[in-house]
Amino acid sequence: MQTIGFIGLGIMGKPMSKNLIKAGYPLVVHDKNREPVREAAAAGAQEASSSREVAEKSQVVITMLPNSPDVREAALGKDGIVEGARPGLIYIDMSSIAPQAAQEVASGLAEKGARMLDAPVSGGEPGAVAGTLAIMVGGDEKLFEEVRPILQVMGKSVERVGDIGAGNTTKLANQIMVAVNIAGLSEALVLGSKAGVDPERIFEAVRGGLAGSNCLNAKAPLIMERKFDPGFRIRLHIKDLANALETGRNIGVPLPLTSLVMEFMQALRVAGDEEKDHGALVRFFERLAAIEVKKSN
């Protein structure tokens, strides 16, 4: 089996790396936070002190990092992947970043003969733990087929959507749809609760109709149970919407709904909710209406 390097062992990266270990892949790991590195080492991974060392010891390198600047630093910065790269190295960035940033990193690594895919994911921490993520891949089709078995360890749905950068464009589209979905279901449940209707009954009544969705099924029960532990933080969704708005401006696509939900999330950030799950978007509407969405018990 190919040796895989994994950089970024956060909420998503740590369980994804563990699934690769369970599948039998030799793994070399690095993160600025040493605790998850030690945890991965206890599960059988080899520790590395830098992104450069990861690249030197691996045939395939995966990154799962917060945003475009983090990926640029890990890939092209001092002691980065580029300094340990060699012809034939495969780099898969599974972070959610701006499409243009993915293209820039791919170009920089290509000078060393390394090949890249951008492969952001959807499914949050539960999907990362279960290995059921939706993975949206941009890059060369032959390279995609070469690494598909690796991606299938981490994801249930693995789809190539186009050339480099297309993966992150698709992820931005996904994040717009999720954000608008959560905002809509939040506003609706607040309306029902203020009108005196049990939100759980509303949920059960509408989930089988046109309003039903994976987003509704995943978030409504957690909202009603007041569980806002981060599966996907509001802070990170703000980052994704910022990348979507920037991309929209660059290519001439107005995104009015995205802009509106972004302001809701910014208000939550000011209120101190940025580290909560994005399902906590309901709190914005609750504060406007002076009501809380919860089970009637």
Dihedral of CA atoms 151, 156, 157, 159 in degrees, nearest 10, equals 20
Q: Is 47 exposed, middle or buried (0-12, 13-18, 19+ CB in 10 A)?
A: middle
Dihedral of CA atoms 203, 209, 213, 217 in degrees, nearest 10, equals 30
CB 94 within 8 A of CB 63: yes
CB 120 within 8 A of CB 171: yes
Q: How do 60-63 and 155-162 pair as beta strands?
A: unpaired
Within the chain, what is the greatest distance between any pair of CA atoms? 65
Helices (H) and strands (E) in the chain, counts: 14, 9
How far is residue 178's CA from residue 17's CA, in Å, rounded to a whole number?
A: 25
Tokens 């939550």, residue? 268
Question: C-alpha distances in angstroms, 27 versus 43, 85, 90?
Answer: 10, 17, 14
Taking the CA of residue 194 as centre, how many other CA atoms within 13 Å lie in the half-sphere pointing to its CB?
13
Residues forming the active site: 171
User: Using alpha carbons only, what angle is made at residue 125 by residues 177 and 266, rounded to the nearest 5 degrees?
Assistant: 50
How far is residue 258's CA from residue 175's CA, in Å, rounded to a whole number?
A: 9
How far is residue 189's CA from residue 293's CA, in Å, rounded to a whole number?
A: 7
